[in-house]
Amino acid sequence: MDLFEYQGKKFFAAYDIPVSPGEAVETVDHAVAVAEEIGYPVVVKAQVLVGGRGKAGGIKLADDADSVREHAGNILGMDIKGHTVELLWIEKASDIAEEYYASFTLDRSAKLHLGMLSARGGVDIEQVAAEEPDAIARIHVDPVDGLTADAAAAWVDAANLNPAARDGAIDILIKLYRAYVDGDADLVEINPLILTPDGRVHALDAKVTLDVNARYRHDNWDAYEATQVLDPREREAKEKGLNYIGLDGTVGIIGNGAGLVMSTLDVVNQVGGSAANFLDVGGGAGADLLANAIEVVNNDDNVKAILVNIFGGITRGDEVATGIVEAMGRVELRSPIVVRLDGTNAEEGREILAASPNEKLMSEPTMLDAARRAVEIANA
Ligand code: GDP
Ligand code: MN
Task: Kindly give the number of the ligand 1 atom that is closest to the alpha carbon of 46.
Answer: 3
Written as one letter, the residue type at 115 is G
As a whole number of angstroms, the distance between CA 175 and CA 15 comes to 6
Q: Is 59 in the pocket of ligand 1 (CB under 6 A)?
A: yes
As a whole number of angstroms, the distance between CA 107 and CA 281 comes to 30
DSSP string, 335-356: S-EEEEEEETTHHHHHHHHHT-
Task: Please say if 40 is a catalytic residue.
Answer: no
Give the model confidence (pLDDT) of 94-105 as tens digits: 999 999 999 999
What pLDDT shows up at residue 331? Answer: 85
What's the chain's average pLDDT?
A: 94
Residue 138 Cα to ligand 1 middle (Å): 24
Confidence of residue 274 (pLDDT cuts 50, 70, 90): very high
Mean pLDDT on 342-349:
92
Q: Tell me the whole-structure pTM to 2 decimals.
A: 0.78
CATH 3.30.470.20 fits domain 98-223: yes
From 189, 224, 319, 364, the catalytic residue: 189
CA atoms in the 13 A half-sphere facing the CB of 263 = 12
CATH 3.30.1490.20 boundaries in the chain: 21-92
pLDDT surpassing 80 at residue 164: yes
pLDDT surpassing 80 at residue 284: no
Residue 26 Cα to ligand 2 middle (Å): 21
CATH 3.40.50.261 boundaries in the chain: 232-379
CATH domain 232-379 topology: Rossmann fold (3.40.50)
Look at 160-164, 232-236, 364-368 and tell me which has the smallest mean pLDDT: 232-236
Structural domain 21-92, CATH architecture: 2-Layer Sandwich (3.30)
Give the model confidence (pLDDT) of 222-264 as tens digits: 989 888 877 889 889 988 889 999 999 999 999 999 999 999 9
Q: How many residues are given for the chain? A: 380
Q: Is 190 exposed, middle or buried (0-12, 13-18, 19+ CB in 10 A)?
A: buried
Please indicate whether residue 129 or residue 16 has the higher confidence score (pLDDT).
Answer: 16
DSSP string, 48-60: -SSS-TTTTT-EE
As a whole number of angstroms, the distance between CA 114 and CA 132 comes to 18
* Ligand nearest to the backbone CA of 5: 1
What pLDDT shows up at residue 290? Answer: 87
CATH 3.30.470.20 boundaries in the chain: 98-223
Instruction: Give the CA angle between residues 162, 163, 168 to the nearest 5°.
Output: 95
What pLDDT shows up at residue 238? Answer: 86
Judge whether 265 and 253 are in contact, CB under 8 Å.
yes
What pLDDT shows up at residue 79? Answer: 95
Query: Which protein residue has the closest C-alpha to ligand 1 atom 19?
Result: 204
DSSP string, 113-124: EEEEEESS-SS-
Task: Please say if 101 is a catalytic residue.
Answer: yes
H or E element, residue 195: strand 185-195
What pLDDT shows up at residue 43? Answer: 98
What pLDDT shows up at residue 122? Answer: 87
As a whole number of angstroms, the distance between CA 339 and CA 317 comes to 11
Residue 213 Cα to ligand 1 middle (Å): 32
Mean pLDDT on 269-292:
89
Give the model confidence (pLDDT) of 114-147 as tens digits: 999 999 998 888 899 999 999 999 999 999 999 9
Give the model confidence (pLDDT) of 37-75 as tens digits: 999 999 999 999 998 999 999 999 999 999 999 999 999
Residues facing 99 on adjacent strands:
194
Share of residues in the chain with pLDDT > 90 (%): 84
What pLDDT shows up at residue 235? Answer: 87
pLDDT surpassing 80 at residue 351: yes
As a whole number of angstroms, the distance between CA 151 and CA 149 comes to 6
Residue 66 Cα to ligand 2 middle (Å): 26
Tell me if the bond preceding 133 is cis, omega within 30° of 0: no
From 101, 180, 224, 244, the catalytic residue: 101
